[in-house]
Amino acid sequence: MSNILIAPSVLAADFANLQRDIEMVNNSQADWFHIDVMDGHFVPNISYGMPVIEAIKKHATKPLDVHLMIEKPERYIENFKQVGADIITVHHEATVHLHRTLRQIKDAGCKAGVVLNLSTPVSVLEDILPECYMVLLMSINPGFGGQKFEEITIDRVKKLRKMIDERGLDTLIEIDGGVNQETGQRLVESGANVLVAGSYVFGNKNPIEAIAGLKNMKK
């Protein structure tokens, strides 16, 4: 089995059959649940919040990777921990005191990650990298599932991979947006460790197989 981690994005699940879809992920080769929280300010869409995450947590047998697309995420870190977040990622663009916010996530008992929008250079991470369990590079403009993968992501992954390796760190690189078997393969070859996939998994006739395909791709 590969060491690539797969995180199906619940945003693309059938919310009227959420328990069924969660159990599908439990029974698949996926590693985490990817949970997208949107506030209608930082991104032009609103998704779901604490009560839904709490409900997901009741059935999920795998860690919750909570991607906060909200302004000033520092206001809600403890709340997300309480409803079951295991990993919390915050956007560099959404919090002024990123260092403090990452410490807050760790103090709450979660693993801490930073997310970069497509237009934010990976070089902004130079000094903060040792504080990051993971860096999530957006490969679309955040806010909606089902968008097309942006090709500049490949170069961004390579740059970040080099920064991490040069410093001897084990920070994970996660990619979110437009991931499928073809883009996933190229991302893994470029140095990504974690693939988020929403519509590719839940829109597939056989989601279990779609997950297995991503999980078992060769480097």
Residues from 69 through 128 that contact ligand DX5 (CB under 6 A): none
Active site residue 36: yes
Half-sphere exposure in the Cβ direction for 95 (13 Å, CA)? 26
DSSP string, 80-128: HHHTT-SEEEEEGGG-S-HHHHHHHHHHTT-EEEEEE-TTS-GGGGTTT
Residue nearest to ligand DX5 (CB): 198
Asked if 92 contacts 120 with a C-beta cutoff of 8 angstroms, the reply is yes
Question: Residue 86 or 176: which CB sits closer to Zn ion?
Answer: 176
Q: Which of 4, 5, 6, 11: binder of ligand DX5 (CB under 6 A)?
A: 11
Task: State the Cα–Cα distance between residues 74 and 71, nearest whole angstrom.
Answer: 9
Q: Which of 31, 36, 65, 86 is catalytic?
A: 36
Determine, following the binding rule CB under 6 A, whether residue 213 of this chain makes contact with ligand DX5: no
Active site residue 176: yes
Q: Which is nearer to ligand DX5, 63 or 143 (CB)?
A: 143
190 binds ligand DX5 (CB under 6 A): no
Residue positions annotated with a catalytic role:
36, 176
